[in-house]
Amino acid sequence: MRDLTIGKESTLIFRFALPMLLGNVFQQFYQVVDTIIVGNVLGKNALASVGASFPIIFALIALIIGIGSGFGIVISQYFGAKDIEKVKRTISTMFIALGIVSVAMSIIGISLSTPIFKLLQLPEHLMPEATAYLDIYLGGILVMFGYNGTSAVLRGLGDSKTPLVFLIVSTVINVALDLLFIMVFDWGISGAAWATVISQAGAFLTAVIYLNRTHAIISFSKKAMIFDWEIFKQGVRIGLPTGLQQTFVAFGMMALMGIVNTFGTDVIAAYSIGGRIDSFAALPAMAFSAALATFAGQNLGAGKDDRVKKGLIATIGMASVFSVVLIALILCFKHQLVGIFNDDPEVIRIGAEYLTIVNGFYIIFVLMFVMYGVLRGAGATLIPMFISVFSLWLVRVPFAYFLSERFGETGIWWAVPLAWSTGLIGASIYYLSGKWKGKVVSRPKPDL
């Protein structure tokens, strides 16, 4: 546990963000290994099938992820206010709620997987492999949320190092099982899905055993599992807008996938590869934004609002430096990077084109995402939800459709920076208004 309300802002945020950044690198690493093995061993059809599954997976789990993040903010604010009993009750309430919802989501997702692929106009020859991958992945949602929920709780308490250890365990298991299931057992695309599910289960089990034995606040025992309706409502109030925001984003990604699917296997495969590569450029923004959210939550909970602005300025600088370096590397080696995943010349050409357009504007994404970190830390998630929905559904999706009609798949790529620019403008206006400060759930009591 780490108290982020005392000390130099930039140093605290950097030290807190660095393990999360390394964790995100490991997480992306094993997802990239999945994609490389699938693309090179099983071919571009299997690669396209996996890529077509991810927007659907994201759509099904986005709401739960958002609500979980809401509980994480409540935890950080109660921890900042030194109310440890409320911290414990928030943790147990979150795990009970996420457990019930994740089981329901698995059942719904598996039941609807084939109709959803048909709705998104996935080419018929990709349907069997895509459905097999998706059904296995969705069957493991419970352990995935257990693992991610545990990491979110620890970050809310100021501990970003322990989740990194769990993630390393998951990464090593996933890579080993990928090689075993696909290259030795010849399980095909199902092997990639099983490797992911089993590795998440292994990481979660490791976390449960370790935390039950060592942590003073977190316990997975039956006695510790208490459901608090008031805290549940607080978590949902903060998390639901973020969850809905993520859900709308996910549906938008599905709509974009539907547009991409109409251009055939090469474009689907290239889009999947491009997404995997440019996700590395997003890692600094994601890690520093998450660190800033916890920093802002603790300091606002402690009544130290002045530190939040200093933290924002420092975070923008640090995240920008990291991102610019990664973007430059990606743009310099774009053809070689795409070629690692698949050696088809047309897939490489389209993937490099995607990276050139999207990564050229990633600094806009960095600024937008860091700004959202402050707002999430304050619990002000409703307005950012509207901003995200607007930039996605009224900018990105329509422009992707109209520009693709005129310029082919290139038009889809140009819609991305247009949407980011809209999101940055909206987030900046809301931050400057100062209205987000009124959303904090816990403030220090004044001395009498």
- Report the Cα 61 to chain-centroid distance in Å: 10
> What whole-number distance in Å separates Cα of residue 83 and Cα of residue 95?
19
Report the share of the chain in percent with pLDDT over 70: 97
Residues 382-435 have pLDDT tens digits of 788 889 889 988 999 999 999 999 999 999 999 999 999 999 999 999 999 888
- Per-residue confidence (pLDDT) for residue 377, from 0 to 100: 82
Dihedral sign for Cα 49, 355, 252, 67, please.
positive
Q: How confident is the model at residue 448 (pLDDT cuts 50, 70, 90)?
A: very low
For tokens 């290139």, the residue is 410
> What whole-number distance in Å separates Cα of residue 359 and Cα of residue 354?
8
Residues 16-52 have pLDDT tens digits of 888 878 877 777 776 777 778 888 888 888 888 887 8
Task: Check: CB of residue 234 under 8 Å from CB of residue 75.
Answer: no
Q: What is the mean pLDDT of the chain?
A: 85
Best CA proximity match to 291, nearest among 21, 6, 86: 21
**Domain residue limits, the chain:** 9-439
**3-state SS, one letter per residue, for the chain:** CCCCCCCCHHHHHHHHHHHHHHHHHHHHHHHHHHHHHHHHHHCHHHHHHHHHHHHHHHHHHHHHHHHHHHHHHHHHHHHHCCCHHHHHHHHHHHHHHHHHHHHHHHHHHHHHHHHHHHHCCCCHHHHHHHHHHHHHHHHCHHHHHHHHHHHHHHHHCCCCHHHHHHHHHHHHHHHHHHHHHHHHCCCCHHHHHHHHHHHHHHHHHHHHHHHHHHCCCCCCCCCCCCCCHHHHHHHHHHHHHHHHHHHHHHHHHHHHHHHHHCCCHHHHHHHHHHHHHHHHHHHHHHHHHHHHHHHHHHHHHCCCHHHHHHHHHHHHHHHHHHHHHHHHHHHHCHHHHHHHHCCCHHHHHHHHHHHHHHHCCHHHHHHHHHHHHHHHHCCCCHHHHHHHHHHHHHHHHHHHHHHHHHHCHHHHHHHHHHHHHHHHHHHHHHHHHCHHHHHCCCCCCCCC
Task: Using the predicted structure, report yes or no on whether residue 165 has a pLDDT greater than 70.
Answer: yes
- Per-residue confidence (pLDDT) for residue 440, from 0 to 100: 63
Residues 272-293 have pLDDT tens digits of 889 888 877 888 888 899 889 8
Best CA proximity match to 26, nearest among 169, 236, 219, 185: 169
Q: In one letter, which amino acid is 250?
A: A
